Amino acid sequence: MDNVRELIQFMQPNQRLDLKAVALTHVLSLTGSTEGKDAILSLEDMLIAIFGLTLDANSTVAKDAVLSLINLTAEEAGAIRVFELAKQVQPSFDIVGVAAKQICDEQAELADAWSMVLSNLTRVESLVHAILDTLEPTLPKLAKAFAKLDYNKKKSKLHYLAPIFCNLTQVPRGRELCCQPKYQLLEKLLPFASFEESVVRRGGTIGIIKNICFDAVYHDVILNEQDDILVAILQPLCGPEEFSDEDNEKLPIELQYLPESKTRETDPDLRKMLLECLLQLCATRRCREVLRAKGVYEILREYHKWEAKVGRDSECLLACENVVDILIKKEDEIGLDNYKSVEVPAEQADKFIQEDAAYVKSLLD
């Protein structure tokens, strides 16, 4: 512990460069272990020193400082500790504001590193409201930076903005801000649900969609005349199969006549999330009718064949069939305008789970 404390004196802004660099190298390696992290998190002065060096003129020093923050905020307790301390110190360190500023700066070399820090902080639901207080005015700029793939001129990809937005939409206020039509944030984010080059970007974007779909308030927003959210959900589930002209005309325009080079989402967890989004959208009669009219059943029919033979993920198969079961029923068979208000007795729920498991087992060869 005293050894760690001794490093603080070498981490002052006006310290000799070589000493700063070596000290920071040590700190960074310490944050790679649980014991090291705990030691650093318990030393207020050490954290303050790290805050200061994140903006050091020397890029190597600054980089190690930000990378240390990524490791320190990787778990919830550490994230809370760092966030609260940054507020308390005199003068306070506006860690969220600094992160946002760096991410929006086209010339910032550490934009990716800072987006990882911010991603870690926003993952803690109890911090999201306070973070939104700082971020709200900046969201349009962050969305713009995210949507423009070559935004950063120093090769930062800004992929972690997707998990950041996903984390923000965990809370109602975040969802409200994203869905606000004035800034069209959602329109900028949605296309990346199919972005092949980064699973982080895809995963974060699909997470945003899921958070919005699980809030019934937005179902009418989602299934509007523009189809953008529905397209974002369905596109990763579409493959190269040919549909008849009649079926093609039903589909949203972006999904008509897809070429034979089209591939499906490769990550089964993401496929499952998309299917769960569709299941949520089946809650009301109006939405069910929209989904049928848009050819969702036809897409899932082809998807199911693929999942059984190629994807071979049992949870995805089950999730798909749950949606299809609802869509192929006529409305008078369902007899419910809103599934969400139905209560399932506990013993029946258990029985359903067991039946599901047995059924899936019988599907696979």
Partner 1 sequence: MENLATKKNWTDEERLELAAQLDAQLDEFIDGLEKKRYEEGWPEDRWQEEMDKHPFFMKRTPQPGDEVHPMFEGLQKLKYDPEENTLEELALNYKEDGNFYMKHKKFRMAVYSFSEGIKTKCENPDVLAVLYNNRSAAHYFIKNHRSALSDAQRALFYKPDYTKARWRAAQCAYELEKFDVCTQLCEELLEVDIDHKDAKALLHKNKMRKLDAERNQRKEAAESKRRLTRFHKLRDALEQRAIKFDDQPINKRPNITENLLRPKFLPLEDYPVHLDEDSSSLIWPAAFSYPEFLLSDFQQQLPETATMLDCLNTLFAEPLPCDKTLSYRPDNVHVYYENRKAGCVHKVTLSKTLREIINEKGFFVSGGALLFYVVPKNTRIEQEFIHQQRRPLVYS
Binding site for partner 1 (CB under 8 A): 182-183, 242, 248, 253-254, 256-260
User: b or e along 174-209 (b: 16 or more beta carbons within 10 Å of the residue's beta carbon)?
Assistant: bbebbbeeebebbebbbebbbbeebebbbbbbbbbb
Please give the DSSP secondary-structure letter assigned to residue 158: -
Residue bearing tokens 């902080």: 121
CB of 104 to partner 1, least distance (A): 13
How do the residues of the chain divide into helix, strand and coil, expressed in percent and rounded to 5?
70, 0, 30
User: Residue 179 CB, nearest distance to partner 1 (Å)?
Assistant: 16
- For residue 284, the SS3 value is strand
Measured distance CA(98)–CA(206) in Å, rounded? 27
Least Å distance between CB 60 and partner 1?
A: 35
Task: Please tell me the distance from the alpha carbon of residue 258 to that of residue 302, in angstroms, as a whole number.
Answer: 13
Residue 307 CA to chain centroid, in angstroms?
Answer: 24
- State which residue, 246 or 260, has the beta carbon closest to partner 1: 260
Closer by beta carbon to partner 1, 182 or else 361:
182
> Shortest Cβ distance from residue 207 to partner 1 (Å)?
25
Task: Report in angstroms how near the CB of residue 253 gets to partner 1 at its nearest.
Answer: 5
In this complex, which beta carbon is closest to partner 1, that of residue 246 or of residue 333?
246
Q: Return the closest-CA partner of residue 288 out of 237, 249, 326, 335.
A: 326
Minimum CB distance to partner 1 smaller for 187 or for 315: 187
Contact 100, 118 (CB under 8 A): yes
Residue number with CB closer to partner 1 (259 or 345)? 259
DSSP characters over 17-40: HHHHHHHHHHHHHHTTSHHHHHHH
By C-beta, is 2 or 246 nearer to partner 1?
Answer: 246
What type of residue is 64?
Answer: D
Closest to partner 1 by CB, 253 vs 357, is 253
* Nearest-approach distance from CB 252 to partner 1, in angstroms: 9
Nearest distance from residue 103's CB to partner 1, in Å?
18
Whichever of 260 and 332 has its CB closer to partner 1, that residue is 260
Q: How far is the CB of 140 from partner 1 (least distance, A)?
A: 9
* Tokens representing residue 14 in the block: 């006006």
| Gap between the Cα atoms of 54 and 62, Å rounded | 4
